[in-house]
Amino acid sequence: MKLAEALILRADSQTKISQLRQRLVKVAKVQEGEEPPENPKDLLRQLDEIFIQLETLIQCINRTNSQADFGEGLTLADALAKRDVLAMRYQALNKLVNASSDLQDRYSRTEIKMCSTVNVVKMQTKLDGVAKQYRELDTQIQSLNWQVDLLE
């Protein structure tokens, strides 16, 4: 199995877990004398089975990420960490650009005028550069995911 396939299975398992949790909440209480539409014990058994499968799958994914060669002396896990930091950097810069470029209407000359403390054009250019780095790195990661075999 390729790493990308395992990642798809992981996402599918997480979706199933979310759905089972919702179904469990719906059958957690019923009116006295009524029967729940589904047996909570069956749902809990299904949930436990998925948790066991998911744990094994995540272990294999993590093992693969830590051993797969990304190039330039990096593992796939290193590249994922770099991508995560780029995403955080993008979010921080994006908030700064949005806050700095907000225009406030002044209805009279006596109202306080707010001025940006950063060069919005420079920050936007930097933001665009970070977004490009993220996209390029993500593309490389996605490509490698389809080439690397999952380690058991």
Total domain count, the chain: 2
Tell me the pLDDT tens digit for each residue of 134-144: 999 999 999 99
* pTM score of the predicted model: 0.83
Residues 6 or more apart in contact with residue 150 via CB below 8 angstroms: 1, 2, 3, 5, 6, 60, 61, 64
Q: Quick one: 45 and 83 in the same domain? A: no
Q: Quick one: 134 and 96 in the same domain? A: yes
Q: Quick one: 55 and 79 in the same domain? A: no
Under DSSP, the state recorded for 109 is: T
CB 3 within 8 A of CB 152: no
Q: Quick one: 86 and 131 in the same domain? A: yes
Q: Quick one: 61 and 116 in the same domain? A: no
- What pairs with residue 127 in β-bridges? none
Domain stops at, among 35, 67, 99: 67
Q: Quick one: 49 and 90 in the same domain? A: no
Q: Quick one: 51 and 114 in the same domain? A: no
Domain residue limits at 82: 72-152
pLDDT of residue 116: 81
Q: Quick one: 102 and 38 in the same domain? A: no
Average pLDDT rounded to a whole number, residues 118-133 = 96
Domain stops at, among 52, 67, 82: 67
